[in-house]
Structure 1
């Protein structure tokens, strides 16, 4: 069996399996290979990337999927994203009080009026955060782990 990347005269690309290279040539010559998108019979082989197997001793790693148009590559953050997160962290740390692991209880006290109203940040377990949201306490997760402040 052999897999070919194919392209029709309308510009659609798709893959298809054939029993052999000769089988593709025979089917193509008799106009039996058609585009899967538009049905066009004018189909030719497209440029393909080679599939090279790693050495037997090499550890197998999952092959990354190629990015389609509009996909975002989250594995390699863009420098401007890193700068934005650093700036966000700086602003949060400058304008909020760090309450550490007491975040859930302190947020609840502020919401109920038992503590002075102020911006806080800290750490909460997942069940504590869910309970805050269910009780209507306005909280939001931060896209970074707070650095622990020590006295």
Structure 2
């Protein structure tokens, strides 16, 4: 499942869980997605950090470590590596790589110049801080997801 940050025409923020970007658009277009505050059906995706929920994924860091911890107390780094690789693949599959244009694309979506979509890319610390000061929501990933098959 993909968790999207959504907002209605009145800018009430809320989350929605969908199996794919097409699933969100299909449900929205059929009037099945509505704001829990005002019941508006004019809902848009907002910029979000990818957060993919697959099966019974751990909800906290503690649960993730416990899931990878063997009975003898040692961490199973193979399980951790597998989980990270799976997440990275989900990010690659559900976002567009915009490379060095990340800040430009994020701003264009934030200010309504472009349609909202999941993107990933690169920016320097100063530009990232400027984006945050503008109220543009994003998250840095703790691992690269733009290689070897960036698209």
> What's the TM-score once normalised by structure 2's chain length?
0.46
Larger fraction in helix: 2
Which entry has the higher C-alpha Rg, 1 or 2?
A: 1
Higher RCO by CA contacts (8 Å cutoff, separation 6 or greater): 2
